[in-house]
Amino acid sequence: MSFVFAPLPTPSLPIVGEEDRFPVRRIFCVGRNYAAHAREMGKDPDRDPPFFFTKPADAIVQNDETVAYPPETGNFHYEAELVVAIGRDGVNVPKDAALDLVYGYAVGNDLTRRDLQLEAREKGRPWDWGKAFDRSAPIAAIHKAADVGHLSTGSITLTVNGETKQEADLNELIWDVQEVISIISHSVALKAGDLIMTGTPAGVGKLVPGDVCVVSIDGLTPLTTTIGPAA
């Protein structure tokens, strides 16, 4: 088979304890999956069912890299997230079998052009320009579930320049990992290589050039991202 130009390399993430890397297919994101964050965004977590958006695989940023302040925004936000790495295909997966699909877990940061997201929301338009822009998905190394177990509790925190901005526990997820996997699999076929960013706690806020943002989850490799000047 030949192509009119060379195919782009497959985005991937390192795996703790392995030389091989994890090839990334798609990135699913859960919206408003912590009650306090839903409230700070003006929504009612007790009535809103889960909903999803996506980021392109090539939006991934490796740990300890610099992200240039993105264009067309004056309100660039951080969002600490637990990331689930899918290692087996699944369709219509029942909740009690959902963890069988999990390869491992990682720390992520759902970078967001909040002004563009909110403008789209107010107009009933897709969120892509606010969420799915270039280099909007910093993610640290994946830890295999076989090594760390399945994460249902534990601290998730985010600091900017050493100051804590987000702090919660994974057990505060409205829809837990099993439920999220099952719900997605009833709408689209999950495939090995898919990632799921499971939602962010309350406390989201602005980033500016020069900021150093660190996301930590108990038992996982922390994620450090520096914000550079606009390109």
156-185 confidence digits (pLDDT tens): 999 999 999 999 999 999 899 999 999 999
CATH number for the domain spanning 17: value is: 3.90.850.10
Q: What is the pLDDT of residues 67-83, one digit of tens each?
A: 999 999 999 999 999 99
Please give the mean pLDDT across all residues of the chain. 94
Helices (runs of H) and strands (runs of E) counted in the chain: 5, 18
pLDDT of 106 reads 98
Asked whether residue 40 carries a pLDDT value surpassing 70, the answer given is: no
Q: How far apart are CA 137 and CA 142, in angstroms?
A: 14
Q: Confirm whether 5 is domain-assigned.
A: no
Percent of the chain with pLDDT over 90: 89
Q: Confirm whether 51 is domain-assigned.
A: yes
How sure is the predictor about 5, in pLDDT bands with cuts at 50, 70 and 90?
very high
Q: How far apart are CA 61 and CA 70, in angstroms?
A: 13
- For residue 47, the enclosing domain spans 12-228
Q: What is the pLDDT of residues 60-118, one digit of tens each?
A: 999 999 999 999 999 999 999 999 999 999 999 999 999 999 999 999 999 999 999 99
Q: Assign 108 to helix, strand or coil.
A: strand
178 C-beta neighbours (distance < 10 Å), count: 19
Q: How far apart are CA 50 and CA 71, in angstroms?
A: 29
Percent of the chain with pLDDT over 70: 94
Q: Confirm whether 127 is domain-assigned.
A: yes
pLDDT of 231 reads 84
Asked whether residue 39 carries a pLDDT value surpassing 70, the answer given is: no
Asked whether residue 150 carries a pLDDT value surpassing 90, the answer given is: yes
Q: Confirm whether 92 is domain-assigned.
A: yes
Q: How far apart are CA 82 and CA 97, in angstroms?
A: 20
Instruction: Confirm if 172 and 35 have CB atoms less than 8 A apart.
Output: yes
Q: How far apart are CA 56 and CA 145, in angstroms?
A: 24
Q: Confirm whether 7 is domain-assigned.
A: no
How sure is the predictor about 44, in pLDDT bands with cuts at 50, 70 and 90?
low
Q: How far apart are CA 83 and CA 42, in angstroms?
A: 24
42 C-beta neighbours (distance < 10 Å), count: 9
Scanning the chain, the segments in alpha helix (DSSP H) are 35-40, 114-122, 128-131, 145-148, 177-185
Q: Which of 168, 161, 73, 157 is nearest to 112 (CA)?
A: 73
Supply the pTM of this predicted model: 0.95
Q: Confirm whether 4 is domain-assigned.
A: no
How sure is the predictor about 41, in pLDDT bands with cuts at 50, 70 and 90?
low
Contacts of 203 (CB under 8 A, 6+ apart): 37, 40, 158, 165, 166, 167
Q: Which of 104, 53, 60 is nearest to 217 (CA)?
A: 104
41 C-beta neighbours (distance < 10 Å), count: 16
Q: Confirm whether 6 is domain-assigned.
A: no
DSSP 32: S
Q: Confirm whether 141 is domain-assigned.
A: yes
Domain count, the chain: 1
pLDDT of 23 reads 98
128 C-beta neighbours (distance < 10 Å), count: 15
pLDDT of 46 reads 64
Q: What is the pLDDT of residues 212-230, one digit of tens each?
A: 999 999 999 999 999 999 9
Asked whether residue 200 carries a pLDDT value surpassing 80, the answer given is: yes
Asked whether residue 6 carries a pLDDT value surpassing 60, the answer given is: yes
Instruction: Confirm if 208 and 70 have CB atoms less than 8 A apart.
Output: no
Contacts of 162 (CB under 8 A, 6+ apart): none
pLDDT of 38 reads 59
